[in-house]
Structure formats: C-alpha cells, structure tokens
Structure 1
Amino acid sequence: MFKQHVVAQGMVLVQQAEDTANSNSETPFFVIKLVELYDMAYVTNCFANNSLFHKALKEAFKVFCNKIVSGFSSAELLASYCDNILKKGGSEKLSDDAIETLDKVVKLLVYINDRPYLFAEFSRKKLSRRLLFDKSANDDHERLILTKLKQQCGGQFTSKMEGMLIDLTLAKENQNNFQEYLSNNSSPGIDLTVTVLTSGSWPSYKSCDLSLPVEMAKCVQVFNEFYQTKTKHRKLTWIYSLGTCNVNGKFDSKTIELILGTYQAAVLLLFNSSDRLSYSCWKTYMHSVGISGSYCLHE
C-alpha cells in the first residue's frame, strides 16, 4: 500500500510537470516537487525507519524517476537544476537550503537507471560551459557538489569533472606565465587569453580548420612559441568554436565594442581593408577559409 501511494504521488508529479511544460513555464517544477517528495521524514518518523518502508520507497521512486518528462530524462532535469543553482546570478555563498537541496538531488541519483553515465555526462557538459564561459558563481560551490557526488557514486564518477577544475586552475597559472613571456618577447599586439585543456577530461568539441586573419594568426603563432618553451611533447589543437573576441567597430557616429565568436570576428575583420563587400566576395572568402555560413549566422 505504501509503495502504491508513493508511486501514485510520483505519477501525479510527472503529469503536472507535463502540463507545466506545455504552459511554457521555465520553473523546474518536476525537480522541485521530486525533492519535496523525497523528504524521508515520514519514513523515519511515522514508520520508525523500518527497512521494509525504505525498500518500498526506493522501488516506488524507481518507477517515476525513470519516466521521460516533456522529452527530458530525469538525469538531464536533475543536472539542469544543479546547473541553475551553480550558475552566476545566484548568491556568492550557497544558503543552507540550497546545500540541502543539492544533497537531496545527489541522493536521488540512486533511483535513476544508468545514473553513473547519464547524469555524469549531462553534468560534465554543463560544467564545461560554466567554466569556459565564466558562468560559474564560485569554485567552492563546484567542489562542494563534486564532493557530494564522489561520496554518493565513487571517485570514478567525478574524476573527469575534477580534472576540469584542475585544468582551469592550471590555465590561470599558464596565462600568468604567458604574460611574463610576452614582457620579454615580441607581443602579437592584441590581448590574448588562452585556456589549455586536457582532452581526456572535457567533452568532445568539433575542431575545424580555419585560415585565420593575419591579426589572429599572429596570436596563435606567439602562443605556440610560448607553449613550446613549456613542453615539446604535447600538441595544441585550437577549438575556435569556443573562442570569443572583443572587436572595436568604428562606425560614423561612434565606436562600439562587439563581443563575437571567432568565426564572426574573422569575417568582420575583412572590413579593415574594405568598406563594402558584395555577397559573392563574402561567400568566396568563407569558402576559402573553411567557415560554414551557419557558424556566423547562429554562433
């Protein structure tokens, strides 16, 4: 009876989440209600922490925690919920309630089939975006959730994500060394920040050959020369799709700073040599340097 009751409650949440999604609400309704339902106080207080009721609770949660909700698995919804808590825009320090919620989310993983794979993969992709695009609110927050995941699922579960945090720490040191190198060697004339990542820890990113404009090519050359002074046994693969450029656009009325993707900046730099470009010239250039039009239009 107890198991049936919990299953019924869970299926109501699934249906309510579907209805909420259809109303275009951005509130993570399903995860919030799932965490509330997970509160095991009634098992502890009402049933004297009886193991049979814990078993029934686990079996019940497995039923609805593996349902697809509005096209998303529970693993993805839980990863997205954690991502929202850990993103910039929240408080600099997590509240006790937020920490408790993260703890419950981690404990819910035991009910999800293939949890070491689905949740870890979704979380790793979201962590990569927080780290690479400066969206993470606090490194301590990131370490907190990884500690909880490690305790729940083991060290292998978090090893790649821990490696990502280590890479970002080393990247800051590497950037300082690069600035020191530039003070004693020729500068590319453009401020350049490079984040060197260990390929085994991060999600796979598409690498495209790109014939860089002279200004950008000089930056890559100088950094490659610097990196060769650090190690001669590693090869850098440049992932231009992850890069951003701050470009000053000098218009008739004023100068505007544009924040662009690498491909977009490469195209706009053509206007340094010409005020007007025909579509055919633009298309020819795009083809010659290996840029797909979709990179510039949708990046």
Structure 2
Amino acid sequence: MTPVLSNEVAEALAQRRPVVALESTIFSHLGLPSPANAQALQQCLAAIRHAGCVPAVTAVIDGVVRLGIDESEHQRILGAARKVAERDIAVAVAQRWDFGATTVSAAVAIAASGGVSVFATGGIGGVHRGSEITGDISADLDAIAHYPVVTVSAGAKAFLDLPRTLEYFETIGVPVLGWQHDWFPAFYTRSSGIKIPHRVEGADEVAKILANRSRPNTGVLLTVPIPIEAELDATNLDHVLAQALSDCDAAGIRGAGVTPFVLGRIGQATDGKSVPANLALAQNNARVAAQVAVAICRLDH
C-alpha cells in the first residue's frame, strides 16, 4: 500500500518537517454529530499547525488511500462514510468506496506507509470485556504493535477491559507511556485506577524512546489524560457504562457495534456533555502529538 500524499504533506516530508497523522472516523457521521465533527476537525488541524507541524488526515476517497487532504475536500470527510479498519483498506480500494473513514488501525498503517511517525486520535480500542469467550480484541492493538508510529490517545474507552488491554500491550512489546501522569486514562476520565507502566515529562523523552526501542517496527502508545476541566464524573459514568453494557449483552450487540452503542448511551446520560469532552481530548491529543513530532524531527536532525 502506497498512500497518495497531499502536496503539503509531500513537501513537508521531503523537507523533513514534522507531520502528524489523524484518523477520519471522528470527523465523519460515524464519529461526532454535526456540527461538532467540523469543530473537531478545525480544532485538531489548528492545534497541529500552531506547533509548526503539518496535519495529515487519513482516508480512502474514491478508492484512493490518502495521507493528507486539501481544505476543499473537508466536506467529503464530514459526511456519510463507511468505516475502514486496516483489514478493510484493500477492499475499499478495490471496490472504490466513495469515502472510507479510517479507524486507528487503518490510520496507523497509512501513516507508517507514508513515512509519518506520529498519529493523534481520541481513544484507542482494546481488549473487550468477555474476550476470553468472544475473542474480541481491537485491531488497533496489533496495528500499534506492528508499525513504527507513536500513537497519542486519551487511553482506551472505559467500557473495555483495561487491565487486559495493558497486559496485551506488554505481551506484544509496546511501550505504554503516561504524559505527565501516573495513571492509565479511561477516555472521558483522567484515571482508570490502573498505574501506567512509564511516565514521561516531555516530548524529547518520547522521541528518544521511539528511537531506542528494541523492535524497530514496533510503535509506542502515549496516553494523555483528558483536560481536567473537561473530565466527566467518574461515578455517574460507571453507572451508565454498566447499564449500557448490560443492554448491549441483552440485545446481542457484539464486536464493532458495541462502541457506537455505548458512546451513544453516554451522550444521552450526560445530557450531551460527552461531546465537548470529546472535542477537548481530541484537541489536546493533537497538541501533544505535534510536540512529539517536532521532537522527533529535532532528534533526527
């Protein structure tokens, strides 16, 4: 797979300037509702540019794998989409999908194929509760393990089996870092109560960790807690999650259907507060990712 680079991204890479990749699911109708999705796009792009980096939204558009899109194409990624995980990229190309919105696994794969070493997202997937029976483990984890990319996220969604997710990362050799924080974030909340394996204080540390890992094709997960002012109430969230997961089980919802169902329930139960929380964490992750991209470029030079 060789993604088509936008002119801006191609020029930045040729000049060895920092680039930050982004997924496109969050910006499509599969992610945040309109107009919050457009707001998220603008905020993430602005945060990356403010740090002196070039943003590179990943997507499949008209059957072409893209790394970086022009402003004139923004409306395309804000609308209807089909979700594209890494396994779906070849299908989306062969069948010439109008717009395939990339998940974490697809975005990481595309970023690595195009020579981009930093990727920002909201939250990653992980090991689902009950995976010992269902075998439901997000493809995000293997993608992070198999591509030399720093993935910056607000941890993993709280409805996942977070202890097993961290154990899985240990098994597949992915360094898990906490950005100025000691606890593994749970997306809408700053702490899951699980200690992070390694704390880092700045972007230069992250760049050196990427450069010195023992497996050159393995990525790094950098977890960044949601800003304090945007954090949702953990007690209320736990209750909502428990009920949503119970309803999921009763309805026979499995696999990829769990995430949108649970996130929808959270949105309803929090009177829409989950949307500004999403915006805040996505923008914050983009800001931190840009710092890391700058540090990697500085180290490479």
TM-score norm. by structure 1 comes to: 0.27
Structure with greater contact order relative to length (CA < 8 Å, sep ≥ 6): 2
Question: Which of 1 and 2 has greater Rg?
Answer: 1
TM-score norm. by structure 2 comes to: 0.27
Structure with the bigger percentage of strand: 2
